[in-house]
Amino acid sequence: MKTPHILLIVGGGIAAYKACELIRLIRKAGMTVRCVLTDGGAQFITPMTLAALSENEVFTTLWDLKNETEMGHIQLSREADLIVVCPATADLLAKMAAGISDSLATTVLLATDTPVLAVPAMNVRMWQHAATQRNVAKLRGDGVQVVDPDDGAMACGEYGPGRLPEPVAIMAEIERALGSASSSPPAGGRGEALRGKRVLITAGPTHEPIDPVRYIANRSSGRQGFAIAAAAAEMGAEVHLIAGPVHLATPPGVTRIDVETAREMAAAVDAALPADIAILVAAVADWRTADAADQKIKKTGGALPVLQLAENPDILAGLAGDPRRPALLIGFAAETEHVVAHAQAKLARKRCDWIVANDVSGDVMGGQNNAVHIVTGQGVESWADLPKDQVARKLMEKIADAVR
């Protein structure tokens, strides 16, 4: 088996020091690694350090006469099995999203057709800024895997999302990305089963604001929907994933649209049509506050505030009645009792083709495993408790058989 080769692009930021430990873990896993050190990264660590740890030449400039005589940036962009940008600063993410190539690192990224994994690290306000979030959404839509940063204390003294994940966690993302790329079945097999099909998937919860700091939500982690999106992409489908607010990496080859509320999700579903297959996994909030407060609601010591609720759009039923209805429409039902009976009633009420039902009275929401019942007009098929990625693959195989 070919030894995986990683090209590590080290951006500028105090978190660059963690790249040293990451290199050690990459090599310990039996992979080879070369490094591109940006000008910003060189303010925190030296080329000598990276060269000693990787036992390979470190590249720092686009204007190296020897390397660029041989089109070194093109060679670097082609020879890797995975390009990892770590830390990916706000500046680097912005340039990647805009297609700017004003340095060796950004030119390599623009010239590559290799999978790219970006691991952001920056100040919490920079990460939460609308411009950064737009850039992240654009990159994910372009197929770049962007890992959500950790919450924690930062070198600047502030606290929140923006902290670089620990090297062990980044290494797990690298192995996952390589596994996704290498485990796709060969052409003509299951890897081609959904070639030419457009699949629409919703995943995660929705957040319905009460005021600027509070919201109505549920415990959905989004893991099952993301696993289904990954399995569909591995089988050759064109996958559009509409995700509620979750901290999960976008599966390779998946176009991701991030939303927050049920109404935003409904609009995104409408915009993503037409589709051949729709799998609505998201746990959409049934209700929202009729009038969310513009300012934080304060405790006054008197009467409790009264929340007037309004019903959210029924995305599944709406899609069932849409002239652009997908040929195969699948809904999910999270139940705590009478799971199959409630799912059968939902199948009839929503007028969809299948309902995938599960019992969420335990730790399914947020957990790693799932036991589901596939409810159709022909009957019920019950599956044993399985890891969510195995449930996803099994479901997509059943779907592929159904749409042949």
Residues flagged as binding site for CTP: 286, 296, 313-316, 332, 346, 350
Q: Which of these, 94, 87, 84, lies nearest to 129 by C-alpha position?
A: 94
CB-CB neighbours of 337 under 10 Å: 8
Q: Show the tokens assigned to 52.
A: 């000693």
Question: Contact at 8 Å (CB) between 51 and 34?
Answer: no
Q: Which two tokens stand for residue 46?
A: 């030296």
In one-letter notation, the amino acid at residue 137 is A
In Å, how far from its chain's centre is CA 101?
25
Which amino acid is present at 315? I
Answer positive or negative: Cα dihedral of 383, 388, 390, 395: positive
Among candidate residues 20, 35, 156, 352, the one labeled active-site is: 156
Assigned token pair, 80: 């890797």
Whether 84 and 117 have beta carbons less than 8 Å apart is answered as yes
Of 329, 396, 335, the residue nearest 365 (C-alpha): 335
Determine whether 86 is an active site residue: no
DSSP code of residue 195:
T
Task: Decide if 121 contacts 150 (C-beta within 8 A).
Answer: no
29-39 per-residue burial string, b: 16 or more CB within 10 A, e: under 16: eebbbbbbbbe
Q: Cβ distance 23 to 8 under 8 Å?
A: yes
Residues in the chain: 404
The token duo for 126 is 């920079």
User: How far apart (Å, rounded) are the C-alpha atoms in residues 81 and 65?
Assistant: 26
Taken in order 9, 15, 16, 20, the sign of the CA dihedral is negative
Phi, psi of 142, rounded to the nearest 5 degrees: -85, 0
Contact call for residues 226 and 251 (beta carbons, < 8 A):
yes
Mark out the alpha helices in 124-222 (DSSP H runs): 124-128, 130-141, 167-182
Residues acting as catalytic residues? 156
